[in-house]
Amino acid sequence: RQEVVLVGRSNVGKSTLMRELTGHSKFTTGKKPGVTRQPNHFDWAGDDFMFTDLPGFGFMSGVEEDRREEIKTDIVQYIEGNADDILAGVLVVDGKSVVDIIDRHSGPDEIPHDVEMFHFLRELGIPVVVAVNKMDKVDDRDERLNDLCDRLGLMPPWKQWSDVVAPISAKRGNLDALEEALRTHFHEQKRDDL
């Protein structure tokens, strides 16, 4: 059974996106920050794979640093252990704040979580789509997306990377870019299998 994993920092809108993708309106989102969450599995209408919602990583108010590290280790182990069955990884980020957060956490001995996760997935050979969420709040769209590409090591302009960078608004149900990007990767893999 193949799966698409969703990863992202807390509060980027991962639960909202998951709900929109799967149409499961009633699934509980583990709303309390830091509450241990097992991977959640959901079917995508009509297709023979599932979405796996992994716990949010990074800063969560009221959650100890040690616990945050444990959560990240769990995520990494889940992905490594299931890499062969993972069709794609969706890294969900908040379009409004992601570049600032990356810049704040970039340094000689610090790699921002989002950048680390992006490269981690790619190194395992898992195609990554960065779902840049909350685009309804972003005014300077092209500039923001170009900056994000730059931080991820993708040469701008972002429009060249439409299979990797997918600007969306989960809350408004505007997911076209993500669905299209995912479709490209599925088709590529099917071709590879022939």
**Residues in the site for ligand GDP, rule: CB under 6 A?**
8, 10-16, 29, 56, 133-134, 136-137, 169-171
Any idea of the CA torsion for 92, 140, 179, 77, to the nearest 10 degrees? -20
Q: Min. distance of Cβ 69 from ligand GDP in angstroms?
A: 18
Tokens representing residue 47 in the block:
């297709």
Of the two residues 54 and 128, which places its CB atom closer to ligand GDP in the complex?
A: 54
Residue closest to ligand GDP when measured from CB atoms: 13
Of the two residues 29 and 97, which places its CB atom closer to ligand GDP in the complex?
A: 29
Measured CA to CA in angstroms, residue 71 lies from 10, 35, 50, 173 at distances of: 12, 10, 22, 29
Segments of 9-127 assigned E as strands: 40-43, 49-53, 86-94
Of the two residues 72 and 83, which places its CB atom closer to ligand GDP in the complex?
A: 72
Q: Min. distance of Cβ 5 from ligand GDP in angstroms?
A: 14
Q: Compute the distance between CA of residue 91 and CA of residue 89 in angstroms, rounded to an integer.
A: 6
Cα angle vertex 178, ends 56, 136, to 5°?
Answer: 80
Of the two residues 82 and 174, which places its CB atom closer to ligand GDP in the complex?
A: 174
Q: Min. distance of Cβ 186 from ligand GDP in angstroms?
A: 24
Q: Min. distance of Cβ 108 from ligand GDP in angstroms?
A: 29
